[in-house]
Amino acid sequence: MDARIGFMGLGIMGRAMAENILKNGHPLAVYNRTREKTALLADLGATVAATPRELAQASDVVIAMLSGPGAFADVLRGEDGCAAALRPGQVVVNMSTVSPADTREFSSLLVPSGARYVDAPVVGSKKPAEEGKLIILAGGDEAVIAGLEPVLLAMGSKVVRCGPVGSGSMLKMAVNLLLGIVLGGLCESVNFARKGGLDPAMVLEVLGDGPLGCGLFGLKGPMLASGIYQTQFPLKHMAKDLKCVLDTAYDTGAPVPGASTALGLYQAARDLGLEDMDAAAVMKVLETLTGR
Amino acid sequence: MDARIGFMGLGIMGRAMAENILKNGHPLAVYNRTREKTALLADLGATVAATPRELAQASDVVIAMLSGPGAFADVLRGEDGCAAALRPGQVVVNMSTVSPADTREFSSLLVPSGARYVDAPVVGSKKPAEEGKLIILAGGDEAVIAGLEPVLLAMGSKVVRCGPVGSGSMLKMAVNLLLGIVLGGLCESVNFARKGGLDPAMVLEVLGDGPLGCGLFGLKGPMLASGIYQTQFPLKHMAKDLKCVLDTAYDTGAPVPGASTALGLYQAARDLGLEDMDAAAVMKVLETLTGR
Amino acid sequence: MDARIGFMGLGIMGRAMAENILKNGHPLAVYNRTREKTALLADLGATVAATPRELAQASDVVIAMLSGPGAFADVLRGEDGCAAALRPGQVVVNMSTVSPADTREFSSLLVPSGARYVDAPVVGSKKPAEEGKLIILAGGDEAVIAGLEPVLLAMGSKVVRCGPVGSGSMLKMAVNLLLGIVLGGLCESVNFARKGGLDPAMVLEVLGDGPLGCGLFGLKGPMLASGIYQTQFPLKHMAKDLKCVLDTAYDTGAPVPGASTALGLYQAARDLGLEDMDAAAVMKVLETLTGR
Amino acid sequence: MDARIGFMGLGIMGRAMAENILKNGHPLAVYNRTREKTALLADLGATVAATPRELAQASDVVIAMLSGPGAFADVLRGEDGCAAALRPGQVVVNMSTVSPADTREFSSLLVPSGARYVDAPVVGSKKPAEEGKLIILAGGDEAVIAGLEPVLLAMGSKVVRCGPVGSGSMLKMAVNLLLGIVLGGLCESVNFARKGGLDPAMVLEVLGDGPLGCGLFGLKGPMLASGIYQTQFPLKHMAKDLKCVLDTAYDTGAPVPGASTALGLYQAARDLGLEDMDAAAVMKVLETLTGR
């Protein structure tokens, strides 16, 4: 595939993903709001676009990895926005985590231009992004997604075709619903055991050895044992994603008692000032409530 | 170790565990309330005791794997009960799941006899029991547990020394607290996604591939995809264990919001008549609440 | 005060409120999307405006009592919208229940026109509306609210000055937060007692006699005793208001565990098809979960 | 009725109730574990019994108002216990709050003696106790309760005949289930409004004026406005009663999501050291979680 790729959003995740696109030999243009972050990619051979519009003009496929729906709306709209330059046959791939409702709105905004929209949020954080091992949850036209696979597989180990536009976002919500519940539950279990006189490190080892043992425990266990919550996935994003789950569930009519309980904890953690720590810092809310 | 082992309780788990004791060459006597279940073990070389008291008289180590605290109290007490025959130096190992509070009470009941009490509930169900791969959570005197290791390792792959009497039960509660939350969360995620238009089998595959993927999903995923909940771990036991978690947390002061929410679901499932199905049938409560 | 009043929204509540304005001698123009509903008011002496814009042109004070923020946005915007005719010194009073966030947005939309915005949602439903005994929760400039009191007191028995724009809506949310919790709790108590073998009518009598006895029990008790939920306040509005409480709490950082639990019940009730019944029909969710 | 009354338990409630029995002209003997508390009643004309057994010997009707099931079991059992002196035709009236399950157990303990058991917990605290205006929830044989009415109406304004033994306790649980939810909800509403910039005193006034306004708000409102939680009903009792509700609901199969959420708050409050303050101090948990 010699499609020209345009990539917007060079945060922790985006930069790693853009590098992997270059390494796989795709021609790449990049845009970032704060321009300094483009330098590293330019050194590796990427063209730098001054505006989202310029990026869209220079690309066949425009990929976005931004902080949320607001940031995506910003690059779409306005005089310098992407939307002003979109044309039939072009594809916009939004890999940011946004709600199914926002996804449907963004998609309909593109209709007049003739460009196609694909929502393709990812499972995995910094390390799999660097290693090109993300799981990519793609929603949109089957043929369009098939055409994107070469570039998507530069960033991920697997592309899941979820269904029509919005279904990638829906699946991402389902994944993060469970993430929020399991991480909260892990903290609850360890705190319960600690309060019952047990050694947290031993508890974590037993949980990891049994049928519940999973990659997440390897990532978060050391945080819970040490009480140091160096950020892998910020707590405020966990709260935001669970809020999005509740909003979506309100619309679809799915009961989400576990996500609702979990959001209560993450929201309290956020308001206690832990928002930029790792989501596992929700443990501190349980500790606060445990008292003596 | 040529200690004589007495084993009470030949249910699904107990029978497999007793067989593994025999296979490892330990002399074994067995007792079961309904005597027919002892035949298989007798064929393999076990002695059959007519009463718990007779079993205790014939053994150095008495192991119990019963349905709960009531059943254990029954074999202890009364004229034919175990307690009437206990003597200094003997060890009683309770591998049933009972609460830390019950454990402390049973332990103190043994003090007059001079026998020692060890609580040693297990992680793992039918299959690991048959394969001798249970994880055994032992609470009690360090030296006593060390002496038991040969026989315990006939049943399990690992003996975790948790701390004093009651700490094995406390850890078992912490494990099942998380089990109840994760299983409930898995159902909630799959139902949410299904209601959002996604294919449950695809959702289960993506969840299994990511950082949350664990042995439990392999066990329960096929149930959720098929809607057939053939019992591995009965739902009523899940409800009972979570109730025990709440009782314990009320005593210790640990907050358990996730377990509390989860119990609400399992309790409703039990009362809707699903008590003997696998715990994963809690999905049916979510489906009932989802409506159209 | 001889201010000319314009009133938009002649639903169950709005019609009663508009009648009371007329009865108190204020000159009144009315607008309703489906024009037939204006006939009754015209018979009583009101002028009928063809569009929101016409209404605004003919009035000093524009009052809206609409079904929600969407309906209010509709009458504001567009060629025939209210906003096109607003002028300095004019006052727009929104008595519909909308969120504090929507309120702030509506208020800022009016800034260019020089008109002032007051949010004035009400406590009370059909009967107090007819009797002119609503409690009116007014947020906005003190002097502006003081000037409105004659017309507001035509509709209500009390005007509470809550603070700046948005504070009326905030207080309405606080009231409905508690309403949702208390009504859900009442159902939970009665169902618990019924399941314990007691007569619901007796339980309701005892609850009504004690320190929890309140007007709400008089309104809802007969519904719970009879199982017939003739609509006073539709269940879907209860769900919507609790959702708005959760959205607001997510923004402000207030913990709302009770509202969150209650929303789970009303949302389930809505999705079971009870959305147009009275909010007390949430009882049916509890009955469904109670099983045998 | 010239039945001789024996009264055990002269705490805040019991003393006031015993005084009202005397004032109504019934012959009265009293017993209290710490004897000093009997002096006041002796001055008013009561006989003082040295043991529960002596009290039972000297009485036709034995009334208990103790701190809980443990205290009641203590006065029943043992050499000096009540049970040793009970005889056919005598009636034991337990006005303490105990669970339906405990009630059934106590009742069956009395069967051999031929004495009858009535559970008669009360609605109302210190003030109605002093004024003889408690609501008395009586469970037991209809004729026996009818015979007790003269003495019960010395203490209360109303005797509710709830059904067979245990139904008084069941109704008391239903009442306190709602109490715990409403009080928690009141705190949640006020904290939500405060966090949204409103004045708590104004919020309390509006809530009191509307359809939710009830006696409880008059009792607790000043505490919430001042932040001083002088004990009317201790928080630890609220936690204990809600735990009893959950235990009972686990047995009967009634869903209690609101009580379960509320218990989480009261339990946290207890463990933060607020156990002896008024139950309204649960507000402090919400404030702790609200953060900045």
Q: What are phi and psi for residue A251, nearest 5 degrees?
A: -75, -40
| CB contact (8 A) between residue D290 and residue A273 | no
pLDDT at residue A283 is higher than 90: yes
| CB contact (8 A) between residue D291 and residue A273 | yes
Q: Are B52 and B72 in contact (CB under 8 A)?
A: no
CATH number for the domain formed by residue range(s) A5-162:
3.40.50.720
Q: Provide the annotated active-site residues of A.
A: 172
| CB contact (8 A) between residue D267 and residue B246 | no
> What band does D2 get if pLDDT is binned at 50, 70 and 90?
confident
**Which tens digit of pLDDT belongs to each residue from C227-264?**
999 998 999 999 999 999 999 999 999 999 999 999 99
pLDDT at residue D292 is higher than 60: no
- Give the span between the Cα atoms of A158 and A156, in whole angstroms: 6
Please tell me which chains touch C, using 3 or more CB pairs under 8 Å as the contact test: A, B, D
D5-164 to CATH, choices 3.20.20.20, 3.40.50.800, 2.40.50.140, 3.40.50.720: 3.40.50.720
**Nearest-CB residue to A206 (from B164, B171, B248):** B171
Q: How many other CB atoms sit within 10 Å of the CB of residue B219?
A: 17
Q: CB contacts < 8 Å between A and D, how many?
A: 28
Question: Is CATH 3.20.20.370 the right assignment for the domain spanning C5-163?
Answer: no
State the pairing for strand pair A156-163/A61-64: unpaired
> What band does D69 get if pLDDT is binned at 50, 70 and 90?
confident
Chain B interface, mutation test: which of C288, C289, C290, C292, most B Cβ atoms within 10 Å?
A: C289
**Nearest-CB residue to A288 (from D273, D288, D292):** D288
**What's the pLDDT score for residue C69?**
87
Chain B contact set for D260 (CB, 8 A) = 260-261, 263-264
Phi-psi region of A140 (alpha: psi -120 to 50; beta: other; left: phi over 0): left
D80/chain C closest Cα distance in angstroms: 35
**What's the pLDDT score for residue C78?**
84
Same fold, C5-163 and C170-290: no
**Residue reference for tokens 């109605």:** D128
CA-wise closest residue to A108 among A70, A136, A85, A76: A76
**Which are the contacts of C121, defined by CB distance < 8 A and separation ≥ 6?**
C94, C95, C96, C97, C98, C136, C137, C168, C169, C172
C149/chain D closest Cα distance in angstroms: 17
D201 vs C: CB within 8 A: no
Q: Are A67 and A98 in contact (CB under 8 A)?
A: no
* Chain C residue whose CA is closest to A260: C260
**What's the pLDDT score for residue C126?**
86
**Nearest-CB residue to B267 (from D243, D250, D264):** D250
**Nearest-CB residue to C271 (from B268, B285, B292):** B292
Q: What is the 3-state secondary structure (H, E, C) of chain B?
A: CCCCEEEECCCHHHHHHHHHHHHCCCCEEEECCCHHHHHHHHHCCCEECCCHHHHHHCCCEEEECCCCHHHHHHHHCCCCCHHHHCCCCCEEEECCCCCHHHHHHHHHHHHHHCCEEEECCEECCHHHHHCCCEEEEEECCHHHHHHHHHHHHHHEEEEEEEECCCHHHHHHHHHHHHHHHHHHHHHHHHHHHHHCCCCHHHHHHHHHHCCCCEHHHHHHHHHHHHCCCCCCCEHHHHHHHHHHHHHHHHHHCCCCHHHHHHHHHHHHHHHHHHCCCEHHHHHHHHHHHHCC
Classified by CATH at the fold level, domain B170-290 comes out as N-(1-d-carboxylethyl)-l-norvaline Dehydrogenase; domain 2 (1.10.1040)
**Residue reference for tokens 């109303």:** D158
Whether B126 sits among the annotated catalytic residues: the reply is: no
C268 vs A: CB within 8 A: yes
- Considering D23, D37, D133, D172, which one is annotated as catalytic? D172
Low-confidence ranges of chain C (pLDDT < 50): 1
Chain D contact set for B263 (CB, 8 A) = 260
Which stretches does DSSP call E strand in C100-154? 116-119, 122-123, 134-139
- Give the span between the Cα atoms of C179 and C177, in whole angstroms: 5
| CB contact (8 A) between residue C163 and residue D258 | no
Helices B283-290, B167-195: crossing angle, 10 deg rounding: 40
Chain B interface, mutation test: which of A206, A244, A282, A284, most B Cβ atoms within 10 Å?
A: A206
Chain B contact set for A289 (CB, 8 A) = 255
C280/chain D closest Cα distance in angstroms: 14
Give, rounded to a whole angstrom, the gap between the first and last alpha carbons of chain D.
62
Q: CB contacts < 8 Å between B and C, how many?
A: 29
- Give the span between the Cα atoms of D30 and D18, in whole angstroms: 8
Residue A58: burial class (beta carbons within 10 Å; 0-12, 13-18, 19+) = middle
**Which tens digit of pLDDT belongs to each residue from A25-43?**
999 999 999 999 999 999 9
Chain B contact set for C289 (CB, 8 A) = 268, 271-272, 285, 288-289
**Which are the contacts of D205, defined by CB distance < 8 A and separation ≥ 6?**
C160
Task: Give the Å distances, CA to CA, from A45 to A18, A26, A30, B59.
Answer: 11, 10, 10, 78
**What's the pLDDT score for residue A292?**
55
Among B residues 85-144, those touching chain A with beta carbons less than 8 Å apart = 100, 123-124, 135, 137
| CB contact (8 A) between residue C250 and residue A268 | no
Q: Are D153 and D187 in contact (CB under 8 A)?
A: no
Mean pLDDT for the stretch of residues B131-156: 97
- Give the span between the Cα atoms of C180 and B73, in whole angstroms: 46
Question: Which tops the pLDDT comparison, D64 or A232?
Answer: D64
Among D residues 34-63, those touching chain C with beta carbons less than 8 Å apart = none
Please name the helix (run of DSSP H) or strand (run of DSSP E) that holds residue A122, with its range, or none.
strand A122-123
Q: Where are the domains of chain C?
A: 5-163, 170-290
% of chain C with per-residue pLDDT over 90: 92
**What's the pLDDT score for residue A78?**
84
Question: Which tops the pLDDT comparison, C81 or A2?
Answer: C81
The per-residue pLDDT of chain B, averaged, comes to 95
**Which tens digit of pLDDT belongs to each residue from D240-287?**
999 999 999 999 999 999 999 999 999 999 999 999 999 999 999 999
**What's the pLDDT score for residue A247?**
97
State the pairing for strand pair A47-48/A61-64: unpaired
- CA A193, A199, A200, A204 dihedral sign is negative
CA-based max dimension of chain C: 65
Q: Bridge-partner residues for D208, per DSSP? A: none
Please name the helix (run of DSSP H) or strand (run of DSSP E) that holds residue A34, with its range, or none.
none
The per-residue pLDDT of chain A, averaged, comes to 95
- Give the span between the Cα atoms of D159 and D148, in whole angstroms: 10
- CA D78, D81, D83, D84 dihedral sign is positive
Chain B contact set for D264 (CB, 8 A) = 255-257, 260
Mean pLDDT for the stretch of residues A213-233: 95
Over its C-alpha atoms, chain C yields an Rg (Å, rounded) of: 20
> What DSSP assignment string belongs to A65-113?
--SSHHHHHHHHSSTTSGGGG--TT-EEEE-S---HHHHHHHHHHHGGG
Task: Give the Å distances, CA to CA, from C141 to B135, C94, C149, C183, D209.
Answer: 68, 14, 13, 34, 24
- Considering B23, B158, B172, B243, which one is annotated as catalytic? B172
A291 vs D: CB within 8 A: yes
CA-wise closest residue to A12 among A292, A248, A267, A237: A237
| CB contact (8 A) between residue C257 and residue D245 | no
Among B residues 223-262, those touching chain D with beta carbons less than 8 Å apart = 239, 243, 246, 249-250, 253, 255-257, 260-261
For residue C274, the 8-state DSSP code is: I
C158 vs D: CB within 8 A: yes
| Alpha helices, DSSP H, located in D164-282 | 167-195, 200-209, 215-226, 235-252, 257-269
**What's the pLDDT score for residue B292?**
56
A183 vs B: CB within 8 A: no
C237/chain B closest Cα distance in angstroms: 18
C281/chain D closest Cα distance in angstroms: 16
> What band does A67 get if pLDDT is binned at 50, 70 and 90?
confident
Q: What are phi and psi for residue A7, nearest 5 degrees?
A: -125, 125
B290/chain A closest Cα distance in angstroms: 5
Question: Which tops the pLDDT comparison, D178 or B126?
Answer: D178
Q: Are D123 and D158 in contact (CB under 8 A)?
A: no
- Give the span between the Cα atoms of C259 and C245, in whole angstroms: 8
Q: What are phi and psi for residue A80, nearest 5 degrees?
A: -95, 10
Chain B contact set for A181 (CB, 8 A) = 181-182, 184-185, 188-189, 258
| CB contact (8 A) between residue C268 and residue B285 | no
Q: What are phi and psi for residue D48, nearest 5 degrees?
A: -110, 125
**Which tens digit of pLDDT belongs to each residue from A155-214?**
999 999 999 999 999 999 999 999 999 999 999 999 999 999 999 999 999 999 999 999
Mean pLDDT for the stretch of residues D199-212: 96
| CB contact (8 A) between residue D215 and residue C211 | yes
Q: What are phi and psi for residue D119, nearest 5 degrees?
A: -95, 130
Chain D contact set for A290 (CB, 8 A) = 271
Complex ipTM value: 0.94
Task: Give the Å distances, CA to CA, from C198 to C14, C190, C217, D177, D244.
Answer: 42, 9, 18, 15, 17
